[in-house]
Structures are given as structure tokens and as C-alpha cells.
Amino acid sequence: MVYDRNRDEAMAQSKERLESSDYAERPPTSDTTDSTSTTSSVDYDPQLHTLRSRATEVDLERHTTRASDALSRIHTQRLQHALTVGESVKSHPSRAPLPPFGAGKPYPPPLPAREDYVVEFDGKEDPLYPQNWPLRRKVYISAILAFTSICSTFDSAIFSSSSKNVANAFGVGLEVSTLSSSLYIIGYASGPLIWAPMSELQGRRLPIVIAMLGFGIFNIAVAVAKDLQTLMICRFFCGIFGSCPLAVVAAVFSDIYDNRTRGVAIAVFSSTVFLGPLVAPFIGGFINMSYLGWRYTAYIPAFMGFFAFVLNTFFLKESYPPVILISKASELRRRTKNWGIHAKQEEIEVDLKDLIINNFSRPLRLLINEPLILAVTVYLSFIYGLLYCFLTAYTLVFQGVHGMNAGVGGLPLFGMVVGLFIAAGYIILSSGSYNKKLEANGGIPVPEWRLPPVILAGALFAAGLFWFGWTGFTDSIHWIVPTLSGLFTGFGLLIIFIQLFNYLIDTYLMFAASAIAANTFVRSLVASSFPLFSRQMFNNMGIQWASTLLGCLAAILVPIPVAFFFFGKRLRMKSKFAPIYEKAEEPMSDENEIAAETNGPMRE
């Protein structure tokens, strides 16, 4: 209830600023005339949509509402800021007396018109705004983040190929050595609860840089571990630090790409999430067969992590708009000597208790209170768990049934890799039709547009499981047949992930990082259990019947996106966290504006 009260206050204060402070037509003050841009806000053409509070519970996708010149990207950004971290993190008032100002000086008067000193973006074409960055910059940032994500997901699977060697080295059973993979994924589950809220307070760049440094350090610790308990503990921390890209990179893409291009960017990101675990097993297999030994399955991810740390430290630019405004305010203070200039983010007074209540607990509150996130999380948890289950199943089929060695036995996973690339190509090619619908709807994205491919992909994914099980259990069927089943499962995996990730981002735009963190938490927690029982399940039930069981479960989950397609809009209307998009119309007269406020919006 504390959060709801703070949120309502933030909404009320933000609305009051937007309606009372007409700084679209405010002349610059004498103190700031020389330091402001020559671009006038009066000429600023508002975007086709603005974000408003869900508290109105009005169906803004079917009904247009009033809009004014003040409804612009600048004001939208400030409302987003208020509803996320800008005014929800507050220190408790100090009871200690104020220290003296010094030198016998009295306290100076407060700044006149404080809002005049708050920096903003300079219109919709401001080059500082991340979505206005040059395409070249967006591409190299995306490439850096894609490599960073591969480092993390690659490490999650390459060490699993060393389970037998680790068991022999420390004199334990195979089940115990497999626990190292489960602990890594449990770290995956825990880390986003820290990294995602941190990215909404300190920006996107800092968490990624810190995480990649810690990722490399703890992988070195795994490689040189002298006892099993050290190895297990360090694998857990590898997962915590390695989880940062999974929670933050998608939020970076939501910062720098608009609705028309975000789908392609998320396709690239999701491809890296799956590419790492699929190429890691055969690389790990060849390493374990060579003179290098199992410890190099930890050294190699460590070197990759350190390289990612260098790339992110020197080449990754901050993309979180409130933090970008902090840098802008700092430059303006330094060059104008006007020390009252500041960004809204700098007004935050971080209190540990409020930080935990309002920010670090937000992913869990989203998971509990938002049925959309809960259902999507259940679906993706099962899909993600099957990814690590396949690492065991493919070993049993191609090494156990067909007699391949550890290195060659991982190559059939490239069937799934090809399926991933086909899915990525489909997303890229279909982005044109999505953009046409977006343009026809006035630039307003409807999250349910993302769901039809998920329905098809879910059916293909289930079919791929049946195909794999009933063609891979015997060596009388050529190995290429179960390998080709990866085309269906790989296609289904990526489409489901891409479209549901975009669905969450479109639905919870301001809270994208927290929504993804909630999803990653449960998804990784569930996936961590699959390596512990998958080998026993396939051995005891048989490859064909275990695959049939998994295929039936996948088929049962297919109706989830179907239900969201028909009823998701109704759930979003009741959400406290999901923003609503609305078209911007011509400004209304003062009389009509007052009448609209008095009578309220009309419904069908």
C-alpha cells in the first residue's frame, strides 16, 4: 500500500506539472537564455501518442481523448520518470538539525521557479535522445550487447559438458557434479532482482560493466578451484553476474529502438540467448577430449567475460534517458556556472528501506499482481527448462544411441541453430507488415499483435518434441532424422521467446526491465531443476515416452497465447503498471478542455 500511495502522489504531481507549467510557451529566463538551445518548444510537433496513467481505466485504444501541445515526448519522459523511480524512492525526513551554512552566512532563499532549472530533451529530434541516435551507433551497441549476452549463455552450457570429468576429478557422482549447472541457473534467477532495478536507478551501462567484471573473476575462480564446494559456490556467483545481460539488454533495446524497429532488435537479442547454449556443448566436448582438460571450459568464458568488460567499459554509451539528462545537466552547470541546473533523476534521495520496498521488490510484485506476467512466465519457464533438458537428451540420443563421441555428438544441435536462424529471418521479414499495421493505427502499438506467431510456434515446438522422441530412440533410424526435428523446436523456441519478450515490453514499457527480471527469476529457477532429473527421466521412461510427455505438456500450454490474444487487452486495462497509448489530437479550447475534465471520458 505504501507503493500505491507513492505512485498516486507521483501521478498527481506529474499531472499538475503538465497542466500548470506551460513551458511549451514559457520564455527563457535571463539566467538560462545563453545556455539553452535555440530550438523553440513552440515549434515542437508532438508524437502521435502519449503515455497516460492506467489509473483512469479508460479504453484509450478504442476511444481517443483530449490532447494538448504540452503532451510531448518531453512530458511523457517526465511522467515515466515519476512512475518508475523519479519520485518513488524517498529518504525518510531527517530529525537532525540542519548544519550551519558556514562563515556566518544565512541560508540562501530557495530557487525561484524550480522547474525552470530542470533539464529536458530539446524536442522530438533531440540527438541526445537514444531513439534519435545514428543507426551506426545503435548497431555497434547492439553488437557489443549481443556478444555480452553470448558470453553469459555460452557459460551456462559449456561447463555441463564437463560433468563427467568434474565428477572423476573430485570423486563424486554424476548427479552431484551436475549440480554446478543448476547452481549457475539459480544464480541466473537471483541476479535480475538486483540488476534490473539498479538499471532503472543508475542507468543501463553501470550494471553491465560491473557484471562482466564479476563474471570473469568468478569464472577464473571456478577454473582454479581446488575443491568441489569452491567450484559450486563460484558457479552460483557466475550465474548472478552472468544474468545481468538477460535482464538489462532488452531494456537497452527498448531505450534505443522505437516500436517499428524494436522487434528486429529483440530478435537479435533472443537469438544470442539461445545460440550460446546450443553451440557450447560441442565446443566443450572437444575441449574435454583434448589435452586442455575440463578447467578450460571455465577459462574460456572468463576470457570472453573480460573482453566483454573492456568493450562495455570503453564503447557502450548510457541509453537510459534520465541518466543521460544527468550528464547534460552536469555539462550545463559547468559551462554556465549556474549550479541550480539539474536533472529530475538527481532529486532522488535513495533510502535503503524504500529502495528495497519500491524498486528491488518491484519484479516480485509484478509477478504476483500481474496475471499477464505470471502466465507468460509459466510458459517461458517450461520452454527455457526444455532447452537445458535437450542438452541431456541430445547426449543420450547421439552419443548413447548412435555412438558419437563428446565433440561430434554436440554437432546435431546445429539443427536447432538453423531453426533459430529461420525464426530470426521470419521476424525480420514480418517486421514490414507489423510496421504497416503500426502506421495505420497512428503509431500506437497493440501488444496483442505479437501473439499470432507464438500460437503457430507453440504448435511447431510441440510437434518437434514428438518428432525427436520417436525418431531418436533407436539407431535403426538415421541420425539426420532426429537432427532435423531441431528445425521445428529451434524455430518454436525463438519465436515464442521473441514475441513474448516484445509482448512484455510493449505492455510494460516503463517497467520493462522489472517485468523481464520477474520473468527471468522464475524462468531460471524452474530451468535449474531440469538438469537434475532429465537424465533419470529419459533413462527410466525411455527417450520416446519422455519426449512424448514433454510434447504433451508443450501442447497443453499452447492455449496461453490464444487466451492473451482475446482477453489480454481486458487484463491490461486493469493493470496498475501497464501504460496506455493514445493518439494526440488537435489542441482543444480551454472551454472544451474544462468540459472534458468535468464530464469525464465517454465509453462505448
C-alpha closest to that of 382 among 560, 199, 232: 560
Lookup: cell for 13 = 504531481
* 84, pLDDT greater than 50: no
What percentage of the chain carries pLDDT values higher than 70?
78
Q: What is the CA radius of gyration of the chain?
A: 26
pLDDT, tens digit, for every residue of 273-296? 788 888 888 899 899 888 998 999
Lookup: cell for 250 = 532488452
Within 8 A by CB and 6+ apart from 205, the residues are: 312, 316, 317, 318, 319
Q: Within 13 Å of residue 513, how many CA atoms lie on the same side as its CB?
A: 30
Indicate the DSSP class of residue 160.
G
User: What stretch of H or E contains 187?
Assistant: helix 174-190
Residue predicted with more confidence, 289 or 96: 289
Q: How far is CA 260 from CA 108, 197, 247, 269, 432, in A?
A: 49, 26, 22, 16, 9
Contact call for residues 209 and 299 (beta carbons, < 8 A): no
* 112, pLDDT greater than 90: no
Looking at residue 598, what is its pLDDT?
A: 38
Contact call for residues 152 and 242 (beta carbons, < 8 A): yes
Average the pLDDT over 445-464 and give the result: 91
Give residue for cell 530533451: 121
Looking at residue 93, what is its pLDDT?
A: 64
Lookup: cell for 553 = 505438456
C-alpha closest to that of 245 among 277, 265, 273: 273
C-alpha closest to that of 491 among 464, 530, 516: 464
Domain 132-316+361-573, CATH number (from 3.30.200.20, 1.20.1250.20, 2.40.170.20, 3.40.50.1970): 1.20.1250.20
Strand partners, 581: 51
- Determine the 3-state secondary structure of 105 from DSSP: coil
Looking at residue 365, what is its pLDDT?
A: 83
pLDDT, tens digit, for every residue of 416-438? 999 998 998 898 888 888 888 88
Mean pLDDT check: name the lowest of 40-49, 99-108, 110-119, 127-136: 40-49
* Dist CA 8 CA 10 (whole Å): 5
Indicate the DSSP class of residue 52.
E
C-alpha closest to that of 398 among 472, 455, 325: 472
Residue predicted with more confidence, 530 or 544: 544
Measured in whole angstroms, the distance separating CA 296 from the mean position of its chain's CA atoms is 30
Looking at residue 579, what is its pLDDT?
A: 63
Average the pLDDT over 526-534 and give the result: 82
Average the pLDDT over 142-171 and give the result: 90
Identity at 8, one-letter amino acid code? D
Looking at residue 544, what is its pLDDT?
A: 92
C-alpha closest to that of 163 among 275, 283, 286, 285: 285
Q: How far is CA 77 from CA 51, 53, 93, 165, in A?
A: 9, 13, 27, 53
Average the pLDDT over 517-528 and give the result: 80
Contact call for residues 370 and 360 (beta carbons, < 8 A): no
Q: How far is CA 430 from CA 78, 449, 497, in A?
A: 33, 12, 16
C-alpha closest to that of 69 among 115, 33, 113, 123: 123
* Dist CA 248 CA 195 (whole Å): 7
* Dist CA 533 CA 523 (whole Å): 17
pLDDT, tens digit, for every residue of 186-205? 888 888 878 888 888 889 99
- Determine the 3-state secondary structure of 581 from DSSP: strand
Indicate the DSSP class of residue 113.
S
* Dist CA 450 CA 372 (whole Å): 14
- Determine the 3-state secondary structure of 259 from DSSP: coil
Average the pLDDT over 111-134 and give the result: 89
pLDDT, tens digit, for every residue of 461-492? 999 999 999 999 888 999 999 999 999 999 99
Question: pLDDT tier at 358 (50, 70, 90 boundaries)?
Answer: low
Question: pLDDT tier at 305 (50, 70, 90 boundaries)?
Answer: very high
* 332, pLDDT greater than 60: yes
Lookup: cell for 296 = 578450460
C-alpha closest to that of 251 among 215, 203, 211, 210: 203
Give residue for cell 530557495: 110
* Dist CA 459 CA 389 (whole Å): 19
